[in-house]
Structure 1
Amino acid sequence: MKKSVLLFTIILLGFSQLYAKNYRVSLLTCEPGGELYSVFGHSAVRVTDMETGRDLVYNYGTFDFNPSFYMKFARGKLDYWLSVSPYDRFIGHYNYLGQAVREQVLDLNEQQTAKMVEFLQVNYQPDNRYYRYDFFYDNCATRIRDMLETVLGKQLEWNDPVGEEEVTFRDLIDEYVYPLPWGDLGIDLALGSVIDVEASEREKQYLPDYMEAAFGRAEIVGDGPTRPLVKSQRTILDLPPVAVAPSFFNPYFLFWGIAILFMVLTFIGFRKKKLFIGFDQTFFGILSVVGIVVVLLWFFTEHTATKYNWNLLWAFPLHGLLVYGLGMKHPAQWVKKYLLFALIMADAAVVFWILGWQSFHPSVLPLILVVILRSNFLYYNLEKFKAQKRIVKD
């Protein structure tokens, strides 16, 4: 079996060397879509046989969207693969989705074209086509960039711009997910402080738009006169940007509504000597669930971007203990101590945010304020109000 595969690969390599001059290789860049999985856009490689007219698209962004997709993605165990489809089918798909597509034809010589075709054909073999997806470091765009660097080696110069504004990985994400506030919130809750670092020009190429711009600046050197990597470019599908309809049901309105509710409850509770414990039990119980998810993503997945996630400072798994502790007829001493702990942790979250150690999603600010408000209020009044209530009953 191994001998057959080796023989097949050798035949492919020989074929690509023989007909390299008949191929045209180009980068396809697809505009962002309206869903979270497509909001960052897409990249693919087009290979056209100029002699036979055969036109194929090599796509590193293929995945199986089945019921286990989200579970595998959450655990960092999602495999993507390289697929090949006719060019017309690929363009028809994006025309149906309403996403614009642009093309950059690469100015490769015959030898470079041959290596590029070899790389794609060998990579498409069943034993090679699958890879473990990583959003920042191994995706549909970075695979193409890495292939180009392998093929051209030192002949490739990226010509990175100088004096560009410093942006973090999280800043780059925010550029695309801002129209999807719930998706933006979910990403900011899941990803840790490791993405709050400056992204180099090369690292920005995990986003198709940035890789397209990098291709436009790059040059090929050392095989004759220096020339641009991109020989020509054009828009294949000239479509307007996909519009995402704004919704009033978003985390900003919802969470500030929750904060206002707790402010009103705290004011009324202080005036009438009431605690409204049920609201606190629900609130801290939900935060506990969020904290458990953060812990699972940090310690029990293969993701690298979910490490050191300081959302734990305000959404802590053990906040669930307050569901039981606050309901006790005679509050134990540990309840008061835990309320002080929750208060300090929430204050620390604000400090981490201000100092730039991690950027939290703006919509969680009212939730952090609720933790500070209610833990402080309950710390000073829980025992007193419950004791007064027992005296009245007696």
Structure 2
Amino acid sequence: MLSYLKKTLLIYPFIYSVIFFASAQQYEISLLTCDPGDELYSAFGHSAIRVQDRLTDQDLVFNYGTFDFNTPYFYVKFTQRTLDYMLSVSTFERFQVEYNYFQRNMREQVLDLSQEQASRLVAFLQENYRPENRFYRYDFFYDNCATRIRDAMEEVLGNQLDWNEELNPEKKTFRTLIDEYVYPLPWADFGIDLALGSVIDVNASEREKQFLPDYMEAAFARAVIVGDGPSRTLVKEERVILDFPPRPSEMDFFNPYVLWWVFAILVMILTGIEYRKKQIYKAFDIGFFSILGLLGILIVVLWFFTFHSQTKNNWNILWAFPGHLVLGLALLKNQWKPWLKKYLLFALVLANLNLIFWVFGIQSFHPSIIPLLLVILLRTNFMYYNLEKFSNTVVK
């Protein structure tokens, strides 16, 4: 009997310790941060949550950055911001294979969550993954693959999560933050600055900066868990999963900076030839101002007819003005119209107003539009003073 009691006393603590250890170590949860890729859709990096379940031996990645290419009217919905993104789940191995193929670095931050906190986070993710919950309306700045993870952490941890923000952080606007990532893609940089309005020329708070995965990673590294015992950092371990040597940057001279200046110089030469010959080659002005007018229509559509909040108050419309299309069409006619001179003066004022908006910080414009503004100023001036004078020697 005494021997039985001794064995029981020895076995039960062992059993309880095994059960406690298994329970305490069930989940290991990590933030995965992936470096930017070479295409625009991947230029800002990516964030995802890794969940390792030691009881079931599952290793899953919860990814808020996926969408269905087979969605009806995909590109229309993408342009209008009516395309829904979704939470998807894959194995970590499958997730890693993709980033290994594209040679994009991947880092992991293992979170120092209690078992209760980890279980609540897993339950939150599983609830989000239900078919009726997994879709959401994507917003690049305020509701994306990174901010969804931040919001999940705040929902689960509540007041126990202290982001421990810097007291005097560097001030950066949303546009500046974007520019940090798209400078290797000059045409994408130009297109983004053309499409997005003055609403992104405001300073982003430290929390708002977390829409970018790199800034989310830095925020997690600073964050502290409080209120459930001694304060501890949110991240207990950092690992490098994929690490590739930096790829050499290639200098492509076919970019808006070079191309628009070459274009401006050629237009100056053309204008000099026209003045010397007392002729106007209006085929150029028809094409140039028609293209500006079409760009203006695109700006109007993005400003007033989509759900994108970042395309509002876009003062690129001062140089890419929809009315310029009317000017281009009017120049197609052989007969000179008196109202053309008034419109040319109006276009000249708009281009100058664009410079004023830039100087006074109302909106930051892409630097490569400077030669385009010079062309607008040059051609509107030239036609304003010479269109009537050279009307008999206009060359189509």
TM-score normalised by the chain length of structure 2: 0.91
Which of 231, 240, 256 aligns to 1:251? It is 256
Distance 2:368 2:120 in 1: 49
Which of 160, 169, 181 aligns to 1:164? It is 169
Q: Which moved more, 1:35-44 or 1:272-281?
A: 272-281
Distance 1:257 1:232 in 2: 52
SS in 2 for 1:383: coil
1:138 is matched with 143
2:228 is matched with 223
How many pairs were matched up?
372
Q: Which moved more, 1:177-186 or 1:49-58?
A: 49-58
The within-5 A match list for 1:119-198 is 119-198=124-203
> Which structure 1 residue ranges, 5 or more long, are not aligned?
1-17
2:303 is matched with 298
Distance 2:128 2:49 in 1: 13
Distance 2:385 2:214 in 1: 54
1:115 is matched with 120
Contact 2:290 2:329 in 1 (8 A): no
1:60 is matched with 64
The structure with the largest alpha-carbon Rg is: 2
In the TM superposition, residue 330 of structure 1 has moved relative to its aligned partner by: 3.0
2:33 is matched with 29
1:79 lines up with 2:84 in the alignment:
yes
SS in 2 for 1:198: coil
In the TM superposition, residue 111 of structure 1 has moved relative to its aligned partner by: 1.5
Distance 2:98 2:367 in 1: 36
Q: Cα deviations across residues 284-335 of structure 1 (Å, max 9, x unaligned)? A: 0100111111100000001000000000000001101112222333321211
Distance 1:99 1:69 in 2: 27
Question: Aligned AA for 1:311?
Answer: N
1:381 is matched with 386
Distance 1:158 1:351 in 2: 40
In the TM superposition, residue 149 of structure 1 has moved relative to its aligned partner by: 0.5
Contact 2:23 2:115 in 1 (8 A): no
Q: Percent identity?
A: 62
TM-score normalised by the chain length of structure 1: 0.91
C-alpha spacing 1:243/1:38, structure 2 compared with 1 (3 Å): farther
Distance 1:49 1:263 in 2: 68
1:289 lines up with 2:289 in the alignment:
no
Contact 1:106 1:230 in 2 (8 A): yes
SS in 1 for 2:228: coil
Which of 68, 87, 94 aligns to 2:99? It is 94
Contact 1:34 1:243 in 2 (8 A): no
Q: Cα deviations across residues 205-241 of structure 1 (Å, max 9, x unaligned)? A: 0000000000000000011001000011110111134
Distance 1:181 1:103 in 2: 30
Question: Aligned AA for 1:262?
Answer: V
2:240 is matched with 235
Distance 1:105 1:215 in 2: 10
C-alpha spacing 1:66/1:251, structure 2 compared with 1 (3 Å): farther
Which of 321, 330, 343 aligns to 2:326? It is 321
In the TM superposition, residue 376 of structure 1 has moved relative to its aligned partner by: 0.9
C-alpha spacing 1:290/1:244, structure 2 compared with 1 (3 Å): farther
1:6 is matched with none
Which of 204, 207, 231 aligns to 1:202? It is 207
In the TM superposition, residue 193 of structure 1 has moved relative to its aligned partner by: 0.4
In the TM superposition, residue 365 of structure 1 has moved relative to its aligned partner by: 1.2
1:342 lines up with 2:347 in the alignment:
yes
> Which structure 2 residue ranges, 5 or more long, are not aligned?
1-21
Distance 1:271 1:139 in 2: 57
2:12 is matched with none
Contact 1:192 1:308 in 2 (8 A): yes
RMSD: 1.5
Contact 1:179 1:246 in 2 (8 A): no
Question: Aligned AA for 2:78?
Answer: F
SS in 2 for 1:37: helix
